[in-house]
Amino acid sequence: MITRYDFVTRFGGVIEHSPYLAERAVDAKIIPEPLTATGIHTALVTMFRAASPAERLAVLRAHPDLAGKLAISGKLTADSRQEQAGAGLDRLTAQEHARFTELNKAYVAKFGFPFIIAVKGLSKDDILEAFEMRINNDRDAEFSTATAQVEKIALLRLQSMLPET
Residue 75 has pLDDT above 60, yes or no: no
pLDDT at 163 over 90: no
Kindly report, residue by residue over 80-133, the tens digit of the pLDDT: 667 677 677 778 888 988 998 999 999 999 999 999 999 889 988 999 999 999
Q: How far apart are CA 142 and CA 164, in angstroms?
A: 30
| Residue 124 falls inside a structural domain | yes
What pLDDT is recorded for position 92? Answer: 82
Of 60, 64, 36, nearest to 48 by C-alpha is 60
Q: How far apart are CA 138 and CA 36, in angstroms?
A: 36
Average pLDDT on 29-33 reads 94
In this prediction, residues 42-54 reach a mean pLDDT of 97
Tell me the C-alpha distance between 10 and 1, whole Å: 14
> Residue 94: which domain range?
64-146
Q: Considering the domain boundaries, does residue 40 fall inside one?
A: no
Q: Which residue has the higher pLDDT, 63 or 111?
A: 111
| Average pLDDT along the chain | 89
Residue 70's pLDDT is what? 44
Whether residue 29 is contained in a domain is answered as no
In a domain, 2, yes or no: no
How would residue 67 be classed by pLDDT, with cut points 50, 70 and 90? low
Of 45-54, 68-77, 79-88, the range with the lowest mean pLDDT is: 68-77
Our count of domains for the chain comes to: 1
**pLDDT score recorded for residue 68:** 59
Give the CATH number for residue 130: 1.10.3330.10
- Is the residue at 20 inside a domain? no
Residue 144: CB atoms within 10 Å: 11
Q: What are the residue numbers of the active site? A: 63
Residue 45 resides in a domain: no
